[in-house]
Structure 1
């Protein structure tokens, strides 16, 4: 029968009195005094005292700071991490301190259990204590020093492992993979044992990934690949790189590990020899994420990636930049064709009111020019796209005596002025806003039956 969360907590290891004494010592008490009177919030001795002058308006009722204290307890059969929340408050000058268990972890007999506790209720899992949901269960925790690291190394279920350094947050990983780590340490697979014990996340080829994939490593895998790792400093990435390159009927070229992650091998086009490709990467010092972007550009341009001059251009930077320019030109031509239809629908929005001309952009690219001239974001691809599609409408507000000079940009959306901005996104003078409101009123009356943003 599966045990309930409360069963684990009811049978937890008992922290020593020294732990709770230490917890209380970390919480300050308070003292107010003047020439006639002294108020001491508590008679606790082994703690700091916050002293203040006693005045008529002294605040003697308030909440103190939430503190979370933790302890790691170790026996030959158990490792437990217990964390307690301490709430202190002062009521009419008297200190009140309450505490309770909030998070509990137990490692025993191959099982790792997590239990959270709040208001007398307990359930499996851990809860954040500080900083909302993003704070994590151990955010800002203060850990009691009680030789727990040495006890784990000398008396716990992990005593057969060589553990160079140990943080309490690393216990979970080391305990989970203790069998694999012990095997690797016995065959002196130094690097792989270190990677399993202390997995590192690296930024490779545009994403964050672990240097070791524990979905792959199991007893069978370790036995099969023992010769590769035994008495060596070879790591998981080196092994996988070699294996995947061999599947491409090639061998590893020395130095390629600086440029290629093993997960990149299946992204290399098939129309080239893998050894030749590695030599090209190394010779040109190619950033593979940049190369992948180049391949995506080729696909967007409908260019077949099936020849060496496309797969391995002589100059990847020039090839990439030319592809960007060509793609932009193609998209620009498509946008302008689409905008011709849109312009015909909104050209009647052009009006001259008082000293200002309200100009409808003649081309989609005019928004890009406007954005650059006024140093704001209307020239961004999102605004251009929404203006073309009719999800919003961009109008240029110009001095009627100099309509070629950018002055203000107006966004009209859902039948009203959504925003009106000048250079560097600044607010316009009040009289400009007044004129803009007149324009909105005029076009609102004349265009009730027309559909635009």
Structure 2
């Protein structure tokens, strides 16, 4: 039988509620103070407790219920349920006694205690029912620098959602991380605490920052402005010169053709204020246009290995020129397909004294038909060109060039017949289509 892990054992273990938990909830949380306004009302609150289990730190999180009526919020009515257990040394944790849907979490206070191992967003945060200084003294880690980390974090919160704040962690996680790698203290003292959750990418056995972060010394002054993702890019792209290059590369990363044809440092300089690029080629205004230009050039077979073609002097002008060539090429290709379609289906031309039906001749005809009759037949151009469907026009003999009724046929069957505003055709057209379909052996539901 396989040996159970500590988390498996902990999940089944029935632990007593911490002494004084109910009193703490009643006096130290929002249990009595929270607004009853539905817009501000919180159904549940949470309390964190740190204990020791088998010589390791154990974080336990308890949920309590906030009643919607003030008179129910008495000491006697407090409902408590444990929802999280997190053990030092484990990335995953235990969560249970709750579910979640679009309206939020639901805590099951009266159900039997159960836990499952998770790695997702089931982690709960709440009021701290522990003294940080006492825990630090008990663990004999006076130099862990948590106070300094907290000071940095408080400052960064005021600056609203900076890189440091995004990578912040709570006291329990910080202490567990410090016990695993005490040298995170050096990162905190250097105000590089936003990297402490990514120490697996660093070499903390080194002394100099350039060796710790495995980058050229020129990047050290910028470490406060970048995050771990930026750091990994800098390591990979050793030719990057500064933060402007880094930002450009991050922007280029969203554009396939720029990534495919970019050159260092010419591509960066092409979009820079100080390089060879003009103001009209600035990065943030024209990067998508440049990506389209490269796509057009490749499709037209232009040699992009020549700098003259890769970095046009007037990007907007060249982009518009190539776009016209592409559209002309597409139009010619489309017209060939429609000409072939008409030649194949002209045998279906049929008329009587009142109506005539014929296949569509061009994409332009579909556009006109769609505009005059206010329906979406213009979107069928590709399907017609690819031979996936047939579009035919019913016109009055007395006004043969005026759109009247549109017909779609697929697999020898009339799929739809649309008059103006997607309306039904007149009865005379229905009878006409019966005769036409009978003659051409096409299935008709009329």
Which TM-score band (shorter chain)?
A: 0.5 to 0.7
| Cα deviation, residue 313, structure 1 | 0.8
- Which residue of the partner structure matches residue 250 of structure 2? 261
TM-fit CA distance, 1:310: 1.1
User: Equivalent residue for 2:339?
Assistant: 340
CA distance in structure 2 between the aligned counterparts of 1:177 and 1:417, rounded to whole angstroms: 69
Q: CA deviation at 1:285?
A: 0.7
Tell me the distance in 1 between the aligned counterparts of 2:440 and 2:64: 66
Match of 1:222 in 2: 212
Structure 1 partner of 2:160: none
Q: Does 1:404 align with 2:401?
A: yes
Equivalence for 1:71? 46
**CA RMSD for the aligned pairs?**
5.1
Structure 2 residue aligned with 1:43: none
2:224 corresponds in structure 1 to 233
* Structure 1: runs of 5 or more not aligned: 27-45, 51-66, 89-96, 128-135, 198-213
Change (3 A) 1:268 1:300: closer
Q: Secondary structure at the match of 1:295?
A: helix
Q: Secondary structure at the match of 2:149?
A: coil
- Deviation (angstroms), 1:312: 0.9
1:446, CA displacement in angstroms? Answer: 3.2
Task: Tell me which of 103, 112, 116 is aligned to 1:123.
Answer: 116
CA shift for structure 1 position 100: 9.2
Q: Which residue does the alignment assign to 2:388?
A: 391
Task: Describe the SS at the equivalent of 2:294.
Answer: helix
Would you say 1:184 and 2:187 are equivalent positions?
A: yes
Q: Secondary structure at the match of 1:411?
A: strand
Q: Distance in 2 between matches of 1:75 and 1:297?
A: 61
Partner of 1:57: none
Change in CA separation of 1:398 and 1:246 when aligned onto 2, cut-off 3 Å? same
The equivalent of 1:162 in structure 2 is: 149
Asked if the contact 1:297/1:327 (under 8 Å) is kept, the reply is yes
- TM-score, normalised to structure 2, is 0.61
Does the C-alpha gap of structure 1 residues 418 and 269 become closer, same or farther in structure 2, counting only changes over 3 Å? same
How far is 1:111 from its partner? 3.6
Deviations 1:236-287 (A, max 9, x none): 477667666653xx744x8555644276485443497466445245742133
What's the counterpart of residue 17 of structure 1? Answer: 22
Matched, 1:323 2:303: no
Residues in 1 aligned to 2:167 and 2:190: alpha-carbon distance in whole angstroms: 27
Q: Label 1:234 to 1:86 Cα distance change in 2 as closer, same or farther (>3 A).
A: closer
User: What is the rounded CA distance, in whole Å, between the counterparts of 1:19 and 1:439 in structure 2?
Assistant: 85
- Alpha-carbon distance in structure 2 between the residues aligned to 1:86 and 1:355: 77
Q: Return closer, same or farther for 1:239/1:177 CA change in 2, 3 Å cut-off.
A: same
Please give the alpha-carbon distance, in whole angstroms, between the structure 2 residues aligned to 1:215 and 1:266. 30
Q: Is 438-447 or 162-171 further displaced after alignment? A: 162-171
2:304 equivalent in structure 1 = 305
The structure in which a higher percent of residues are strand is 1
Asked whether the equivalents of residues 70 and 84 of structure 1 are also in contact (C-alpha less than 8 Å), the reply is yes
**Partners of 2:83 and 2:97 within 8 A in 1:** yes
Residues 1:170 and 1:374: Cα distance change in structure 2 (over 3 Å): farther
SS in 1 for 2:391: strand
C-alpha change, 1:222 and 1:373, in structure 2 (3 Å) is farther
1:306 is paired with a residue of what secondary structure? coil
Q: Report how many residues are paired.
A: 366
What aligned pairs does 1:54-69 form with structure 2 within 5 A after superposition? 69=44
Alignment of 1:359-370 (within 5 A): 359-370=358-369
Cα displacement (A) at 1:406: 2.9
Bigger mean CA deviation after superposition, 274-283 or 402-411:
274-283
Task: After TM superposition, list the pairs within 5 Å mapping 1:20-31 onto structure 2.
Answer: none
SS for the counterpart of 2:338 is helix
CA distance in structure 2 between the aligned counterparts of 1:377 and 1:215, rounded to whole angstroms: 57
C-alpha displacement at 1:71, in angstroms? 1.3
Q: How does 1:126-205 map to 2 (within 5 A)?
A: 146-147=127-128, 155=135, 160=146, 162-163=149-150, 164=153, 171=169, 182-189=185-192, 193-194=193-194
Contact 1:259–1:288, Cα closer than 8 Å, also in 2: no
Residue by residue over 1:18-54, the C-alpha shift from the partner in whole angstroms, topping out at 9 and shown as x without a partner, is: 68879xx99xxxxxxxxxxxxxxxxxxx99799xxxx
1:288 aligns with 2:287: yes
